[in-house]
Structures are given as structure tokens and as C-alpha cells.
């Protein structure tokens, strides 16, 4: 029986791999990490569990989750420890119900089971971005950008870079901008922005991506707020929402933010800001686009 060394990699279990003959068997268990985090975050009173003894830790015990899900305690333990990685849809549905997961949490739970380790760097290198770049540049009045699954900016058009000058330069890491830029942290909306950023990174990030966990480890080491948010394992796809970027000459401009998954890519996201036709916000974007075009013409 091989000795296992278990480290904590920012909410991601990374035991030393065991060998099965000549084949390395990965022991990381994103599913187990997620179950542990959500079990700890679930208050017994919220799921109808009464405590007859003093609880030494917050949240539910393993036997309580197993009972609520209608599975054996031994089987649930195997799931948390990563010794069973293929629970049925019925079991996943029962666990989601037991832990009171919302739609995003349930979707994330299923994804952790279905996603397999892969060479993400090679998959990203194989993506042709020329067509995507041409599309973004053809939208002069629509701020738009593309993120990879780590929320790094792959592409952005000129209007997006002007609307969000600190964060949408190609190569920027949105989480690093949100958690390390003083100008961003000073915003009155920063607490909500920080929470949403960590949730989105969890939801869209590939659970076996080493670069994702390196970024998380770096931010956790320098920012206690990120570390606390990351360790909760809370998720939110944030498909759409309202934003109010500052545009010179127009002040805070209300816009709608929309997110789309780019097909045939390893988790790329197309994000765009838009305004209702004929609105003051649309006029502000048109004015800014005209200023950008005029500046280009003089260069």
C-alpha cells in the first residue's frame, strides 16, 4: 500500500499520485473538495437537522449528508475522499437536494464529475482567434472581449479597452485586477465585484487546470478576502447583469453585461456590454466610438 501525501492547494486536494503498474493514477478530487466545502457551509437548521449534542465544527456531518441524500455513510465517505468518482445522476440529484444547491451549484456538481484531466495549454494553443478578433472589431459601438476559463483576457476590441481601461487589455487576469489593483478595490461596489469574480472563476475554471490553481494560490497568499471566497467553493455563472462604467463626458453609464460560451474552445467566454437603442447609454457608447475612430484617423 503506497504512502499518500496530501497537500492543500487552495481548496484543491493534491495528493501525491499513486502508481498502478506503470500508469499514474491522479488522486486530485475536485468533487470531494466541493462536497466538503458545501457540507461545511450548510447549516443544519436549514435542512431540518436537529442537533442533540454540541457540534464541534460548523455545517453538517458526513452521516447527516448521507442520510439526507439517502445513501450509505461509507459511500458518501468514498465520494469525499475521491475513492469513487462516478456517482450516478440519481446520486448527484440527491446530493444537490441534501446540500440545498441552487441551479448553478447543481450544474457545477455535475461538471466536476464529468470533467476529466486534459492538456489545457495545448487545447488553448489550437484555438484560432483570427475569426473571433474580426468579429469583435466589427462591433465598433459594442464593448466586447473574450476570456479563457481562468478569466484571462484573450481578445478585446478598442471600445471595451476604453470602457474598462484597467482590466481589459489582452493578457490581463481579471481576478488579479479585481483583487490587486488599488483603483478597483477602492470602488464602492468592490465587495460585490470581488464575490462575483471568485464565484465565476470557480464556475468556469477547469477543475484540473494547474494554472487556475496557481493563480488561486497566488491570490490567496496575498489577499485574505480572496482566500475566504475561494475556499467557500460558491459558484455563479453570471450570464447577464447591470454595470455602470464611467465614460468621460457622460459619467456613470448604465449598460447590460451578457456572457456567451464560445463553441469549439476550451471554455472561452464572449462578454459584451450593450445599451438599449435610442437610450442615453447608447448615445454615450456612440460618442466614445466616434472619439476612438477620430483618434485612430490622426495617428
pLDDT tier at 298, thresholds 50, 70, 90: confident
Q: What is the domain-level CATH number for residue 280?
A: 3.30.450
Of the three residues 91, 114, 137, the one that is the final residue of a domain is 114
pLDDT of amino acid 166: 83
Nearest to 40 by CA among 19, 18, 26, 59: 59
Q: Are 162 and 294 in contact (CB under 8 A)?
A: no
In this predicted structure, the answer to whether residue 106 has a pLDDT above a threshold of 80 is yes
Whether residues 82 and 154 fall in one domain = no
In this predicted structure, the answer to whether residue 10 has a pLDDT above a threshold of 60 is no
Of the three residues 78, 94, 114, the one that is the final residue of a domain is 114
Whether residues 54 and 146 fall in one domain = no
H helical segments located in the chain: 30-41, 62-69, 73-81, 89-98, 103-114, 120-125, 130-137, 158-163, 174-180, 182-185, 190-204, 210-222, 224-232, 280-298
Asked, for residue 1, whether it belongs to a domain, the answer is no
Whether residues 37 and 176 fall in one domain = no
Whether residues 101 and 130 fall in one domain = no
Longest dimension (CA), the chain: 76
Q: Are 2 and 56 in contact (CB under 8 A)?
A: no
Residue-range definition of the domain harbouring residue 72? 6-114
In this predicted structure, the answer to whether residue 18 has a pLDDT above a threshold of 60 is no
Of 39-53, 243-257, 273-287, the poorest mean pLDDT is in: 39-53
Whether residues 154 and 250 fall in one domain = yes
Q: What is the domain-level CATH number for residue 51?
A: 1.10.260.40
What is d(CA 215, CA 177) in angstroms, rounded to the nearest whole number?
A: 12
Whether residues 138 and 221 fall in one domain = yes
Of the three residues 96, 114, 132, the one that is the final residue of a domain is 114
Asked, for residue 152, whether it belongs to a domain, the answer is yes
Q: Are strands 246-247 and 251-252 parallel, antiparallel or unpaired?
A: antiparallel
Of 21-30, 141-150, 182-191, 268-277, the poorest mean pLDDT is in: 21-30
In this predicted structure, the answer to whether residue 175 has a pLDDT above a threshold of 80 is yes
In this predicted structure, the answer to whether residue 235 has a pLDDT above a threshold of 70 is yes
In this predicted structure, the answer to whether residue 27 has a pLDDT above a threshold of 60 is no
pLDDT tier at 47, thresholds 50, 70, 90: confident
In this predicted structure, the answer to whether residue 24 has a pLDDT above a threshold of 50 is no
| C-beta neighbour count of 8 within 10 angstroms | 11
Write the pLDDT tens digit of every residue in 244-261. Answer: 999 989 999 999 999 999
Whether residues 100 and 173 fall in one domain = no
Whether residues 133 and 75 fall in one domain = no
- Backbone φ and ψ for 152, nearest 5 degrees, come out as -100, 140
What is d(CA 251, CA 140) in angstroms, rounded to the nearest whole number?
A: 20
Mean pLDDT of 28-35: 92
pLDDT of amino acid 299: 67
pLDDT of amino acid 145: 98
pLDDT of amino acid 8: 36
Q: Looking at per-residue confidence, does 180 or 54 come out higher? A: 180
- How far, in whole angstroms, is CA 81 from its chain's centroid? 23
Q: Are 135 and 157 in contact (CB under 8 A)?
A: no
Whether residues 240 and 286 fall in one domain = yes
Q: For residue 45, give the C-alpha cell.
A: 437548521
Mean pLDDT of 142-163: 97
pLDDT tier at 22, thresholds 50, 70, 90: very low
Q: Are 8 and 217 in contact (CB under 8 A)?
A: no
Whether residues 140 and 252 fall in one domain = yes
Q: Are 258 and 271 in contact (CB under 8 A)?
A: yes
CA dihedral 115, 119, 123, 126 (to 10 degrees): -160
pLDDT of amino acid 229: 97
Nearest to 87 by CA among 104, 103, 72: 72
Nearest to 14 by CA among 34, 28, 30, 35: 28
Q: Are strands 6-8 and 13-15 parallel, antiparallel or unpaired?
A: antiparallel
Share of the chain above pLDDT 90, in %: 80
Q: pTM for the full model?
A: 0.86
pLDDT tier at 55, thresholds 50, 70, 90: confident
pLDDT tier at 56, thresholds 50, 70, 90: confident
What is d(CA 167, CA 174) in angstroms, rounded to the nearest whole number?
A: 6
Mean pLDDT of 197-207: 97
Share of the chain above pLDDT 70, in %: 90
- How far, in whole angstroms, is CA 63 from its chain's centroid? 30
Taking 3-state DSSP, the helix, strand and coil percentages for the chain, each rounded to the nearest 5, stand at 45, 15, 40
Amino acid at each position: 500500500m503506497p504512502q499518500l501525501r496530501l497537500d492543500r492547494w487552495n481548496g484543491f486536494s493534491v495528493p501525491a499520485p499513486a502508481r498502478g503498474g506503470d500508469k499514474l493514477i491522479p488522486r486530485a478530487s475536485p468533487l470531494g473538495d466541493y462536497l466538503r466545502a458545501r457540507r461545511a457551509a450548510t447549516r443544519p437548521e436549514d435542512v431540518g437537522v436537529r442537533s442533540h449534542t454540541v457540534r464541534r465544527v460548523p455545517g453538517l456531518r458526513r452521516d447527516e449528508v448521507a442520510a439526507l441524500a439517502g445513501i450509505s455513510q461509507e459511500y458518501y465517505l468514498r465520494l469525499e475522499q475521491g475513492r469513487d468518482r462516478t456517482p450516478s445522476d440519481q446520486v448527484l440529484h440527491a446530493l444537490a437536494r441534501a446540500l440545498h444547491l441552487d441551479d448553478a451549484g447543481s450544474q457545477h456538481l455535475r461538471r466536476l464529475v464529468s470533467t476529466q484531466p486534459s492538456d489545457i495549454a495545448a487545447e488553448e494553443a489550437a484555438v484560432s482567434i483570427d475569426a473571433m478578433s474580426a468579429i469583435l472589431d466589427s462591433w465598433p459601438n459594442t464593448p466586447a472581449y473574450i476570456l479563457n476559463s481562468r478569466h484571462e483576457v484573450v481578445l478585446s476590441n478598442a471600445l471595451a479597452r476604453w470602457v474598462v481601461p484597467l482590466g481589459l487589455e489582452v493578457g490581463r487576469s481579471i481576478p488579479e485586477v479585481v483583487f490587486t489593483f488599488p483603483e478597483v478595490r477602492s470602488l464602492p461596489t468592490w465587495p460585490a465585484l470581488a464575490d462575483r469574480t471568485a464565484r465565476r472563476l470557480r464556475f468556469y475554471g477547469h477543475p484540473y487546470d494547474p494554472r487556475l490553481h496557481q493563480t488561486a494560490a497566488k491570490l490567496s497568499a496575498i489577499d485574505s478576502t480572496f482566500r475566504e471566497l475561494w475556499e467557500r467553493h460558491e459558484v455563479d455563472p453570471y450570464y447577464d447583469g447591470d454595470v455602470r462604467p464611467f465614460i468621460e463626458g457622460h459619467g456613470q453609464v448604465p449598460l447590460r453585461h451578457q456572457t456567451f460560451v464560445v463553441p469549439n474552445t476550451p471554455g472561452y467566454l464572449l462578454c459584451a456590454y450593450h445599451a438599449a437603442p435610442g437610450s442615453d447609454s447608447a448615445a454615450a457608447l456612440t460618442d466614445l466610438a466616434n472619439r476612438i475612430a477620430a483618434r485612430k484617423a490622426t495617428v
